[in-house]
Amino acid sequence: MTEIVLQDLAKHYDSSVAVEHMSIRIAPGELVALLGPSGCGKTTTLRMVGGFVDVSSGRILVGGRDVTALPPNRRNMGFVFQNYALFPHMSVAENVAFGLQMRKTPKPETAKRVAQALARVKLASFADRLPKQLSGGQQQRVALARALVIEPDVLLLDEPLSNLDATLRQEMKIEIRQLQQSLGLTTIFVTHDQDEAMSVADRMVLMRQGRVEQMGTPGDIFETPCSRFAAEFMGVTNLFPGKAAAPGLFVLDDGAVVRLADAAVPSGPCSLALRPERIEVSAAPPAEGDNSFHAMVEIATYRGALIEYRLRSQRGLTMIARRPTPALGGPAVLAPGATVHVSWPITAGSLVPEN
Ligand SMILES: Nc1ncnc2c1ncn2[C@@H]1O[C@H](COP(=O)(O)OP(=O)(O)OP(=O)(O)O)[C@@H](O)[C@H]1O
Ligand SMILES: [Mg+2]
């Protein structure tokens, strides 16, 4: 198992900066998700680690060895590109064998390892097909087999599930995670999908405009986003600007006063962050001690396991709440126009800096 260390990595293109001050340490056997919106520098970072893009400054250490100046084929890393990049005129087996041939591996050894890699991704009987004769999920597996066959120290995956439908994505996610864990492969997994990142990663690196915005376990970033940007990216749909008036007291811009268990008083401008699933919506008055106000249901949307409400307070504040559907033990659905109590426990809200 191999440690990866990125030290103050940067990539500049003529006038623009793609990646800057990227310093992370990935523990041996760890899966780290690089997460962030389009253009934030995920692919550039991954390609620098793989050796496909030269760094402008900084260093990359793999297992203690400085690989910054080495070409890709001397880094012993398995790479799965976003579009798989299979060779269309080569069979599945030839695609998988490619990396071994480049390394001048003897033929019998190559055949053995290709068979092994295909078995590992459950494609043993597809060796002679061409990529175009495979489904998206099968092509994705070939790409994975091709990355694994060289017995890499490190696995680099760039949006490996983006071309798959929802069901297949779910399956492949689990398969990749199981393979990665059973082989003990230190892995960087690029995605722009926070759900996907949370469900596969040991830790996540949230990127913003070429820099690390926040790094931590999925739980850390989900529970305590460090900024409005991080909160929004992690699906906090309720972010209300205001001012910390005193420890545990926050005054929203519309004048409403909210109590918080968190007694920190941030110095700069900040917002109250409230996850939609923490907000109770009810015709009956809420529990004593909770924050509450009157609101009107604007829209109620059926979302499978959840009903999503858009609500508007008397002061005009719009918020989103998600409650379990009646089928799952939730209360009866409230109709648009209904006047309701909206409430949340004081432990549910947190303050995040504006930015
Ligand atoms: N070869 C290049 N020349 C100039 N600018 C580039 C080049 N490659 C990438 N960039 C720029 O660098 C920034 C980061 O790009 P990158 O591909 O790393 O983003 P990303 O996070 O992978 O985005 P996406 O989610 O869309 O794949 C973008 O602004 C992009 O336009
Ligand atoms: Mg990309």
Q: Per residue of the chain (355 residues), what is the pLDDT tens digit?
A: 899 999 999 999 998 999 999 999 999 999 999 999 999 999 999 999 999 999 999 999 999 999 999 999 899 999 998 877 899 999 999 999 998 998 889 999 999 999 999 998 889 999 999 999 998 888 989 999 999 999 999 999 999 988 788 888 888 899 899 999 999 999 999 999 999 999 999 999 999 999 999 999 999 999 889 999 999 999 888 999 999 888 899 999 989 999 999 877 777 889 999 999 999 999 888 888 899 999 999 999 998 889 999 999 998 999 999 999 988 888 889 999 999 999 999 999 889 988 7
Same domain, 207 and 236: no
Is the C-beta atom of 97 inside 6 A of ligand 1?
no
Amino acid letter for position 303: R
How far is ligand 2, taken at its centre, from the CA of residue 10, in Å? 16
Atom in ligand 1 nearest the alpha carbon of residue 37? 25
Cα 208 to middle of ligand 1, angstroms: 12
Ligand 1: which residue has its CA nearest to atom 3?
13
CATH assignment of the domain containing 296: 2.40.50.140
**CA-to-CA distance for 135 and 335, rounded, in angstroms?**
44
Considering the domain architecture, whether residues 163 and 255 belong to the same structural domain is answered as: no
Query: Distance (Å, rounded) from C-alpha 187 to C-alpha 155?
Result: 5
Show which of 200, 223, 246 is a domain's final residue: 223
Q: Which of 180, 198, 223 marks a domain boundary?
A: 223
Tell me if 191 CB under 6 Å of ligand 1.
Answer: no
pLDDT of 197 reads 95
> How many domains is the chain built from?
2
The set of residues, in sequence order, having a beta carbon less than 8 Å from that of 324 and lying 6+ positions away, is 305, 306, 307, 330
pLDDT at 304: 86
Sign of CA dihedral 52, 56, 60, 65: positive
**Residue 197 alpha carbon to ligand 1 centre in Å:** 20
Residues 207 and 246 occupy one common structural domain: no
Q: Confirm or reject: Cβ of 228 under 6 Å from ligand 1.
A: no
* Whether the CB of 11 sits within 6 Å of ligand 1: no
Expressed as residue numbers, the domain containing 177 is 4-223
Nearest CA to ligand 1 atom 11: 18
Residue nearest to atom 26 of ligand 1 (CA): 38
Domain boundary, last residue among 191, 223, 255: 223
Return the residue whose CA atom lies nearest to atom 28 of ligand 1: 39
Shortest-distance Cα residue to atom 25 of ligand 1: 38
Tell me: do 216 and 233 sit in the same domain: no
Question: Ligand 1: does its nearest atom lie under 6 Å from the Cβ of 40?
Answer: yes
Do residue 252 and residue 146 come from a single domain? no
Going by alpha carbons, the residue nearest to atom 30 of ligand 1 is 39
Tell me the ligand closest to 41's alpha carbon: 1
Q: Within this chain, do residues 174 and 126 fall inside the same structural domain, yes or no?
A: yes
Q: Are residues 260 and 319 in the same domain?
A: yes
Q: How is 125-149 classified by DSSP, letter by letter?
A: GGTTS-GGGS-HHHHHHHHHHHHHT
CA–centroid distance, residue 171 to ligand 1 (Å): 29
Residue with tokens 């680099």, as numbered in its chain:
156
pTM of the model: 0.89
Instruction: Calculate the alpha carbon distances from 89 to 80, 130, 140, 200, 338 in Å.
Output: 19, 7, 17, 33, 62
- Tell me how far the alpha carbon of residue 90 is from its chain's centroid: 33
Say yes or no: 108 and 256 in one domain. Answer: no
Same domain membership, residue 248 and residue 322: yes
**What is the distance in A from the centroid of ligand 1 to the CA of 20?**
13
Distance 38 CA to ligand 2 centre (A): 7
253 in the same domain as 178: no
Centroid of ligand 1 to alpha carbon of 321 (angstroms)? 35
Instruction: Kindly report the CATH number assigned to the domain that includes residue 30.
Output: 3.40.50.300
264 in the same domain as 211: no
Our answer on whether the CB atom of 271 is closer than 6 Å to any ligand 1 atom is: no
Q: In the prediction, which pLDDT does 53 show?
A: 96
With residue 112 as reference, give the H or E element that holds it: helix 107-120
The residue contributing the CA closest to ligand 1 atom 18 is: 41
192 Cβ below 6 A of ligand 1: yes
Nearest CA to ligand 1 atom 1: 13
Closest ligand 1 atom to residue 41 Cα is 18
Look at residues 284, 281, 288 and name the one whose alpha carbon lies nearest to residue 308. Answer: 281
Instruction: Check whether residue 173 and residue 92 sit in a common domain.
Output: yes
Nearest CA to ligand 1 atom 14: 41
Q: Give the closest residue (by CA) to ligand 1 atom 10.
A: 18
Q: Which atom of ligand 1 lies nearest, measured to the CA of 14?
A: 4
Say what the pLDDT of residue 212 is: 98
Closest ligand to 22 CA?
1
